[in-house]
Amino acid sequence: MTTTPTLARRLWEAVEPIHAVVYYAPEPAAAARELGLAGWWMGYFAGRLAPVGTVDGPLARSLCFAMAPRRVDRALPDAWARTAPRKVLDSRVDAARAALERCLPAVRHADLRRLVLLLERAVEGCGHEGRPLAAAWAAVPRPGTLLGRLWWAATVLREHRGDGHVMAVVHAGLTGLEAGVTHAATGDVSGALLRTSRGWTDDEWAWACRRLTARGLLTRAGRLTRSGGALRRSVEDATDHLAAAPVTLLGSSGVEDVIAVAAPLSRHLIDTGVVPVPNPIGVPRP
């Protein structure tokens, strides 16, 4: 199916902002504070990794591949001394549902239900081999509301793609930091935004730039060379291929049905300022 990579990327672009409300809407941050989690980043790491359990140290850092290790270590395991993963998980799912309820435009119940059923079907196509976050989120019991199910399915799909992206980056011989530098070098998102959001210092970012320049992947001006551009495209193409299983299960018509309903919802979230563009995730306006 030669169109699968393109469909896989379009599916991600249409659905990802629905997941991303958990990072930008106030409800999830408020819910984390109510559990005693200190600061936005503690809520982020505890919330994203809650399905895995009380992880910390090297395991937590490996799961959050793009993040500076010190940023992970400041949040975990301290979060687990304040509350339990199950409480974090339940709170996060409910807060995401509440955020979607507030932020999404009016949509026909039949269309929303059709979208949720299609996304849940897509989740069934997500293999879990080598995909710890996708496997953990897939094991979370489905929420009892349509909007909760919508957010859960969007989350499993994005973690499935994200786990595959880590595989593609590692296969390309890049570290998490170097992946961020090459992403910024495409011009799609600023280096300052990626560096600060991932917790890297100026010195660490500059060191990665020098390393990539020595490998012939980056110019001294911080842009991708021809080789660097080819490597970056290979990472994105591999990410699409590794995200193809749910697309194959839905088929092209099923994916187009998802996009027809999800893309307007995601555009609304972006156009109303709930999810900013550009953003560190790299998702554009669909």
Over residues 201-247, the pLDDT tens digits come to 999 999 999 999 999 999 999 999 999 999 999 999 999 999 999 99
- The helix/strand count (H/E) of the chain reads as 15, 0
**How far is the CA of 6 from the CAs of 187, 206, 236, 248, 266, in angstroms?**
21, 33, 11, 12, 18
Angle of helix 4-24 versus helix 226-242 axis, rounded to 10 = 90
> Could you read off the pLDDT of 50-97 as tens digits, one per residue?
999 999 999 999 999 999 999 999 999 999 999 999 999 999 999 999
Q: What stretches of 145-225 show up as alpha helix (H) in DSSP?
A: 146-171, 176-185, 191-198, 202-214
Q: Residue 206 is encoded by which pair of tokens?
A: 């500059």
| Domain positions in the chain | 4-271
Separation between Cα atoms, residue 100 and residue 213, nearest integer Å: 43
**Per-residue model confidence (pLDDT) at position 1:** 33
Q: Residue 186 is encoded by which pair of tokens?
A: 């495409």
Instruction: Answer positive or negative: Cα dihedral of 15, 19, 24, 25.
Output: positive
Cα torsion 153, 156, 157, 162 to 10°: value is: 160
Residue from 258, 269, 271 nearest 112 by CA: 258
Type and span of the H or E element at 268: helix 244-271
| Mean of the per-residue pLDDT values of the chain | 97
Separation between Cα atoms, residue 150 and residue 159, nearest integer Å: 14
Residue from 157, 117, 141, 114 nearest 7 by CA: 157
- Res 251 pLDDT > 70: yes
- Res 2 pLDDT > 60: no
Separation between Cα atoms, residue 189 and residue 155, nearest integer Å: 22
Residue 30 contacts residue 63 (beta carbons within 8 Å): no
Report the Cα 131 to chain-centroid distance in Å: 13
The predicted model scores a pTM of: 0.96
Q: Is the peptide bond before 278 cis (omega within 30 degrees of 0)?
A: yes
- Res 3 pLDDT > 60: no
Read off the amino acid at residue 40.
W
